[in-house]
Amino acid sequence: MVKDQFLDLTIQSVESLGEGFRNYAILVNGEWVFRFPKSQQGAEELNKEIRLLPHLHDCVKLRIPEFVYIGRQSDGSSFVGYRKIRGEILGEDGMASLPIDVADRLALQLSDFMNTLNEFPVETAIQAGVPVRNLKDEFRLLKEAAERQAFPLLSEPLRDYITLRIGYYLEHPEYTNYKPALIHADLSPDHFLTDSAPTSLSGIIDFGDAAISDPDYDYVYLLEDCGERFTRQVMVYRGVIDVDALIEKVSFFVTFDQISYLLEAIKAGDPDWISEGLEILEEDRVNNTLY
């Protein structure tokens, strides 16, 4: 498809960059990343990125994908090519091994990136196809799905934990009232690019989950994948006054993400995945005494 649709690009080498739930990617000539959605959801998310990212290029200081090639797959869905952003994926293992001073530098860069997204005009983002996510409604539906699909597999303590945990969040206005803003919604170290040392962030990728929602939700994968110390440092750089209270709020998002993970495993019918999801959720229950 790349060869047939982009005649100006002479292909000399191709290598796999990996595959996720919704996309797979290849590297052409060691220079061009091509992403191909694997599902309707992946295609819709990519179309959102195609419309949104040009608006962000001049706003953010970190590099983000700039789509030079936009093609069509046989099913009519788009695929894209962009010049590879300098740097390597940090990942959870890389995050855990960072010296404190480097982690703090990354936290400062990330805080600036998050501020820029939150300040972006909401109407412009909506016009670009970014959806509005109502977290209160989402988590109410999550509770109903968990009761139908997961409760038959769960111990009574875990069933009680999910019921009380989601109920506590829904019943507290300080959690459910917020000013909607543009968020990345998947700020995991798997989407952070760093220079080879690494000493600083060079880019952020994968905006497929971008949404208009609670700006605090963008901390969920920082807390889950990067750890509490790093998350606190980002909050401090962003001027959060009560960091403890915000950490507590974000811990609910982590719980709900883990419930979603278990539901995905049940839907896939994968016993090993289900077992992993149950273990993660049980660990979350043990670590959280506040419902």
Q: Which residue bears the tokens 């001073």?
A: 101
Q: What average pLDDT does the segment 101-119 reach?
A: 96
- Residue 248 predicted with pLDDT over 60: yes
Closest C-alpha to 34, from 77, 70, 62? 70
% of the chain surpassing 90 pLDDT: 90
Q: Range with the lowest mean pLDDT among 132-136, 222-226, 286-290?
A: 286-290
Give the residue-averaged pLDDT of 62-73: 96
CA 74 to chain centre: 28
Q: What is the set of domains in the chain, with CATH numbers?
A: 2-87 (3.30.200.20), 89-287 (3.90.1200.10)
As a whole-number percent, the residues of the chain with pLDDT over 70 amount to 99
Does the structure show a pLDDT above 80 at 198?
Answer: no
Confidence of residue 210 (pLDDT cuts 50, 70, 90): very high
Question: Model's pTM, two decimal places?
Answer: 0.93
Q: In angstroms, rounded to a whole number, what is the distance separating the alpha carbons of residues 183 and 34?
A: 24
Contact between 92 and 191 (Cβ < 8 Å): no
C-beta separation of 225 from 240 below 8 A: no
Query: Which tens digit of pLDDT belongs to each residue from 138-177?
Result: 999 999 999 999 999 999 999 999 999 999 999 999 999 9
- Read off the pLDDT of residues 4-53 as tens digits, 9 standing for 90 and up: 999 999 999 999 998 887 899 999 999 999 999 999 999 999 999 999 99
What pLDDT is recorded for position 289?
Answer: 67
